[in-house]
């Protein structure tokens, strides 16, 4: 009985060892692909958000220049609302987008290993 129990235990341990090795091999094969896909994803997302911030800033400048002159000549409410949006709301949006996305954008283009290390550290926490 004792020998049979030892044999079963060794069989289970061998099966477990094989499964762990197969899982480890799978992780080693797939890790570089996952890392590369994460870097590409980070580049696309953060770069597009930074470009969006610059587009909003350009639109803000356009609105302020185009409608700012007519604001002093007339008392049109539509022009005043557009000028207020261009002068107050858009800069807050631009600053928020840039503050949140400029650092990860630069990191994903120039220091992708650091980006991966930060992601791993976040996952470990």
Expressed as residue numbers, the domain containing 45 is 32-124
Domain-located, residue 72: yes
* Number of structural domains found in the chain: 1
Contacts of 82 by beta carbon, 8 Å cutoff, 6+ apart: 63, 67
Q: What is the pLDDT of residues 32-69, one digit of tens each?
A: 888 888 999 999 999 999 999 888 888 887 877 776 66
Residue 6 placed within a domain: no
Average pLDDT, the chain: 80
Distance, in Å, from the CA atom of 77 to the CA atom of 71, rounded to the nearest integer, reads: 9
pTM value is 0.65
């Amino acid at each position: 009985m004792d020998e049979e129990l030892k044999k079963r235990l060794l069989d289970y341990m061998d099966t477990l060892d094989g499964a762990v090795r197969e899982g480890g091999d799978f992780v080693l094969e797939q890790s570089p692909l996952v890392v590369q896909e994460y870097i590409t994803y980070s580049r696309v997302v953060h770069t597009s958000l930074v470009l969006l911030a610059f587009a909003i800033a350009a639109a803000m400048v356009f609105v302020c220049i185009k409608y700012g002159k007519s604001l002093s000549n007339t008392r049109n409410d539509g022009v005043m609302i557009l000028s207020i949006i261009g002068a107050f709301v858009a800069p807050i949006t631009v600053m928020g987008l840039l503050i949140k996305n400029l650092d990860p954008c630069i990191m994903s283009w120039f220091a992708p290993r650091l980006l991966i290390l930060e992601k791993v550290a976040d996952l470990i926490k």
